[in-house]
Amino acid sequence: MKSKLGEHFKNKWQDYCSFLLMIVIIFAMLYHLMDLSQLDINIPMSYFGGDDMGVLVNAKQFTEQGWNMTSDRLGAPFTVQYYDFTSSMMHNVGLLIMKIFAVITGSAAAAMNLTYLSIYFMAGIISYFVMRNMKINCWTNALASSVFAVSPYMLYRNIGHIVLTECYFVPLSILICLWIYERDDVLVPDRNFFKRKINYVVLFFTFLIANNGIAYYPFFTCFIFLVTAISKLLKTGKIRQGLRGVIATVMVCFFVVLSILPGKIYTLINGSNSAAIDRSGFEQAELYGLKIAQLFMPVNGHGLYDKYIDYYNDAAFLVNENSTAYLGIIGMIGFIILGLWLFARRDGKDGILSKRLGYLSELNIAMVLLGTIGGIGAMFAFFVSPLLRGYNRISIFIEYVAILAVALCMDRLVEVINAKKVLKGILIYIVYGVFGLACIFSIWEGCPNLATPPYDTIREEYASDKDFVERIENQLDEGAMVYQLPYHEYPEFGPVNDMWDYHLYVGFVHSDTLRWSYGSIKGREEDKWNKNVSEMSYGDMVKYLKEQGFAGIYVDRRAYLDEEFSELKTGLEGAAGGSFISSDNGNLYFIKF
């Protein structure tokens, strides 16, 4: 037994060591770029009242209940049902990971932080698996996968767009494409389909892909599956070969439909609610389209070329979240390689490297055509459906294909060096040393200056909010209802003065027993009730809320100008016959009936 184990490690030590190297690089870069020495795991890394607050709410729900689609502590005096918000059902893998961390830690903040940080390691691990499946040298693999794991796209989107930061299944999408392109046993529609184990592996991978990326990553995956289908059909002239990509597409679509089925059932019972998510108008696909220039445009110039970035962003049209499309240095090199390879001469004797680069160049140009402003995505939005609008988000697929191209070329270079008889060892060390430094520099250079959270600011505000809500909870009975002002539509209404879109979730996040009026989906009767109450006179509002069993009113001061808040405070104190208490930072107020 010991001899077998020893023989195994003797044969596989490079795989284990290279994998460990990748983990160390990812951890070291995150530690440096995010200054994790300041991190308190029980205080959120992002706490600004935007989409990050929605992530924290999910984590809070998981510490209290099984899943995140309902809550009896939000939307008081009713409960909330989030089935109208379809995207809530389309990132189930990330939610499951968060649920696990929530159960282990019992802390919403810790669950959110650990879920976020785990994304980078999962991206690296899955990429490592994919490249090893392609027989890429383990050391090249480890370095290239580290670059993907800490990509500018992921760092910039951060916790606020965690559903997009969770792009760890992108390598699986590319791997399935390569399997269809290169192998003869994957998804072949014949009588032996269910006898091939590889088809069950693909089925599992498509399940993961479908439950990740709030429709964007499944949609992009289906697109490249169809591109692969067309490529196989044209190259072989056989319909059966083209059908393999179609079958993969059907698999993804099946699991997507399965994931949103609870929402469809809810709609059938309660009626449709088009007001919940407004994606009308194809023009948003133009607005948030990909700009090829931004694939080469860093988010952060590190003091070296910031003025050029600022000049472009100020002068160019349609600069928005598409600025996150930057590929990084390694990605740019790969993109250029694939662009040039489109024009390479082909013949029937092409080796595996040439064939793979040729196929990846096809995928690359097809994805650019889909994402670019005025491209296939814009036409899809115009002729088919405008529900998807951020086609720039395909840049993470482009980046992985580009990194893969560099890894393939590097792998070939190592093979050539190993075939030499003279100075082979020295050349290998030099090549890997240069490539390793280039990869680490690429990660650092692509890092946005927003990667390091303002830990002190977050800590102070979080502590102030927590102390204030706990003071309210100590004054009220378990299960007491609190009405919140201002009235603010949910979801995606936008900020009001200094109050961001989801700041009203603060009360829920920091309490364990109280019920809060905020959170009902716009377009439903519960939301209309909330709006009607907010429009009452102060006296009528207090009287009515008392009749409904509410115990007090909570106000987010940031939503009001000084004069507006002074009038509100005076009016409610007169109607309630009491005085407001406030948080230490002056952002939050509460008056008890």
**What pLDDT sits at residue 303?**
79
Neighbours of 529 (CB within 10 A): 16
Q: Is the pLDDT of residue 348 over 70?
A: no
Give the CA distances from residue 118 to residues 27, 113, 427, in Å, rounded to whole numbers and listed in that order: 10, 8, 35
**What pLDDT sits at residue 143?**
98
Same domain? 483 vs 427: no
* CA–CA distance, 571 with 560 (Å, rounded to integer): 14
What is the bridge-based pairing of β-strands 481-485 and 515-516? parallel
Q: Is the pLDDT of residue 453 over 70?
A: yes
Q: What is the CA radius of gyration of the chain?
A: 27
In 3-state terms, what secondary structure has residue 491? coil
H or E element, residue 589: strand 588-592
Which pTM was predicted? 0.95
Specify which residues 481 forms β-bridges with: 515, 550
Write the pLDDT tens digit of every residue in 75-92. Answer: 999 999 999 988 889 999
Write the pLDDT tens digit of every residue in 477-508. Answer: 999 999 999 999 999 899 999 999 999 999 99
Q: Which two tokens stand for residue 113?
A: 């932080």
In a domain, 363, yes or no: yes
Q: Which two tokens stand for residue 259?
A: 């994931």
Instruction: List CB contacts of 384: < 8 A, sequence separation 6 or more.
Output: none
Cβ pair 167, 460 in contact under 8 A:
no
**What pLDDT sits at residue 492?**
87
The whole-chain average pLDDT of the chain stands at 94
* CA 224 centroid distance within chain: 20
Write the pLDDT tens digit of every residue in 200-253. Answer: 999 999 999 999 999 999 999 999 999 999 999 999 999 999 999 999 999 999
When pLDDT is cut at 50, 70 and 90, the band that residue 280 belongs to is low
**What pLDDT sits at residue 418?**
87
Same domain? 438 vs 497: no
In a domain, 374, yes or no: yes
Q: Which two tokens stand for residue 95?
A: 């939610």
Angle formed at CA 471 by CA 585 and CA 488, multiple of 5 degrees: 65
Residue that is written with structure tokens 């194809």 in the block: 282
**What pLDDT sits at residue 346?**
73
In a domain, 538, yes or no: yes
**What pLDDT sits at residue 77?**
97
Which of 380, 415, 445 terminates a domain? The answer is 445
Instruction: List CB contacts of 124: < 8 A, sequence separation 6 or more.
Output: 22, 23, 26, 145, 146, 148, 149
Which of 383, 414, 445 terminates a domain? The answer is 445
Cβ pair 288, 250 in contact under 8 A:
no
Which of 445, 469, 499 terminates a domain? The answer is 445
387 secondary structure, DSSP code: S
Q: Is the pLDDT of residue 376 over 70?
A: yes
* CA–CA distance, 573 with 429 (Å, rounded to integer): 75
- The candidate with the shortest Cα–Cα distance to 134, out of 337, 408, 363, 397, is 408
Q: Is the pLDDT of residue 1 over 60?
A: no
**What pLDDT sits at residue 387?**
87
**What pLDDT sits at residue 344?**
86
In a domain, 96, yes or no: yes
* CA 281 centroid distance within chain: 24
* CA–CA distance, 552 with 546 (Å, rounded to integer): 8
Torsion angles phi and psi, residue 583, rounded to 5: -75, 165
Angle between helices 216-236 and 197-210 (to 10 degrees): 140
Residue that is written with structure tokens 């100008």 in the block: 561
Same domain? 369 vs 233: yes
Cβ pair 77, 548 in contact under 8 A:
yes
Q: Which two tokens stand for residue 435?
A: 């490539």
Same domain? 175 vs 290: yes
Q: Is the pLDDT of residue 422 over 80?
A: no
Same domain? 434 vs 464: no
Residue that is written with structure tokens 């192998």 in the block: 183
In a domain, 176, yes or no: yes
In 3-state terms, what secondary structure has residue 76? coil
Write the pLDDT tens digit of every residue in 3-48. Answer: 677 777 778 899 999 999 999 999 999 999 999 999 999 999 999 9
Torsion angles phi and psi, residue 135, rounded to 5: 65, 25
- The candidate with the shortest Cα–Cα distance to 180, out of 136, 131, 242, 135, is 242
**What pLDDT sits at residue 349?**
65
- The candidate with the shortest Cα–Cα distance to 53, out of 420, 518, 504, 465, is 504
Same domain? 295 vs 214: yes
Instruction: List CB contacts of 35: < 8 A, sequence separation 6 or more.
Output: 452, 455
Same domain? 230 vs 362: yes
What is the bridge-based pairing of β-strands 481-485 and 80-81? unpaired
In a domain, 351, yes or no: yes
Write the pLDDT tens digit of every residue in 63-77. Answer: 999 999 999 999 999
Same domain? 349 vs 375: yes
Q: Which two tokens stand for residue 72?
A: 């009896």
Choose the weakest-confidence range: 126-135, 341-350, 570-579. 341-350
Give the chain's domain count.
2
Same domain? 332 vs 351: yes
Residue type, 484: Q
When pLDDT is cut at 50, 70 and 90, the band that residue 466 belongs to is very high
189 secondary structure, DSSP code: -
**What pLDDT sits at residue 260?**
94
| Strand locations in 275-424 (E) | none
Same domain? 11 vs 53: yes
**What pLDDT sits at residue 481?**
98
In 3-state terms, what secondary structure has residue 175? helix
Same domain? 462 vs 429: no
Same domain? 177 vs 50: yes
In a domain, 450, yes or no: no
In a domain, 215, yes or no: yes
In 3-state terms, what secondary structure has residue 110? helix
Range of the domain at 500: 455-592
